[in-house]
Chains A and B, each alone.
Chain A
Amino acid sequence: DTEVTQTPKHLVMGMTNKKSLKCEQHMGHRAMYWYKQKAKKPPELMFVYSYEKLSINESVPSRFSPECPNSSLLNLHLHALQPEDSALYLCASSQDGRQPYNEQFFGPGTRLTVL
């Protein structure tokens, strides 16, 4: 299995809702990432997990809460989001947890709309 999967593909939520995005990979990769991408912009790094531990948080607001339950799974918990948080959320993984940002494999993304 050489892909990163993300669910759901689309998500619409209100500002008071709590929802979660899920990302899974079975390539044995030990680094996993969350990115946020607005239209016509490059992806912006949010979080990096190395060996299931949070290693980088790019000053992301606390309404985004990442979780890495095991080496194959990465979640992003969402609570009290704002309309400006609407974006494509991308998950990625790379092989070596000691060398983040090596060749990354991206998932298809979750299109999030906050009403």
Chain B
Amino acid sequence: KNQVEQSPQSLIILEGKNCTLQCNYTVSPFSNLRWYKQDTGRGPVSLTIMTFSENTKSNGRYTATLDADTKQSSLHITASQLSDSASYICVVKEAGNNRKLIWGLGTSLAVNP
């Protein structure tokens, strides 16, 4: 069964600190993997989209990695800010005729002053 699992479920860090969120998936065939940031009560905002051949992709203070062999991805946040408090969702797109999006449950990040 195609699944996306994220860890930790929730995380609290102090402003200015770094953190890393994990995403493991079993989706096959694989097309791409996305990381979204979702503020409470708002729509998701895309941070990165990574295809099979991409190992690392950055968007400002956000850096995503992808290991397609082990089916793992991480999202590293550098020098966290209070505005980084949100849910971070990993989403994997199936390849082929199905082409569905498989959503993880997200990691809830709280950045405290």
Residue of A with least CB distance to B104: A42
Cα–Cα, bound, A26→B101 (Å): 24
User: Considering only CB atoms and an 8 Å cut-off, how many residues of chain A contact the other chain?
Assistant: 21
Given the known interface contacts A42-B89, A101-B93, the answer about A109 and B103 at a Cβ–Cβ threshold of 8 Å is: no
How many chain B residues sit at the interface, stated as a range, is: 10 to 19
Q: Are A92 and B43 in contact (CB under 8 A)?
A: yes
Chain B nearest CB from A41 CB (Å) reads 7
Interface string of A81-115 (1 = CB under 8 A from B): 00000001011100000011101111111010000
In the bound complex, CA of A86 to CA of B112 (Å) = 31
Tell which of A45, A101, A108 touches B43, judged by Cβ atoms closer than 8 Å: A108
| With A41-B105, A42-B89, A45-B101 as contacts: A106 and B41 at CB distance below 8 Å | no
Q: Cβ of B49 and Cβ of A42 under 8 Å apart?
A: no
Q: Is B46 an interface residue (CB 8 A)?
A: yes
CB–CB A106/B105 < 8 A: no
Query: Does any Cβ of B come within 8 Å of A28's Cβ?
Result: no
Say which residue of B41, B49, B89 sits within 8 Å of A111 (CB atoms). B41
List B contacts of A108 (CB < 8 A).
Answer: 42-43
Contact in complex: A109, B101 (CB < 8 Å): no
**A43 close to chain B: CB less than 8 A:** yes
Q: When A100-B99, A101-B93, A103-B49 are in contact, do A109 and B43 touch as well, CB less than 8 Å? A: yes
Alpha-carbon distance A99/B93, docked complex (angstroms): 12
The 8 A CB mask of B34-72 against A (1 = contact, 0 = none) is 100000011111100100000000000000000000000
Could you list which residues of chain B lie within 8 angstroms of chain A, going by C-beta atoms? 34, 41-46, 49, 89, 91, 93, 99-101, 103-106
What would 24 A/B residue contacts be, using CB atoms closer than 8 Å?
Answer: A4-B43, A42-B103, A42-B104, A42-B105, A42-B106, A43-B44, A45-B100, A45-B101, A90-B44, A91-B43, A100-B99, A101-B100, A103-B34, A103-B46, A104-B46, A105-B46, A106-B44, A106-B45, A107-B43, A108-B42, A108-B43, A109-B41, A109-B43, A111-B41
A residues neighboring B (CB under 8 Å): 4, 40-43, 45, 88, 90-92, 99-101, 103-109, 111
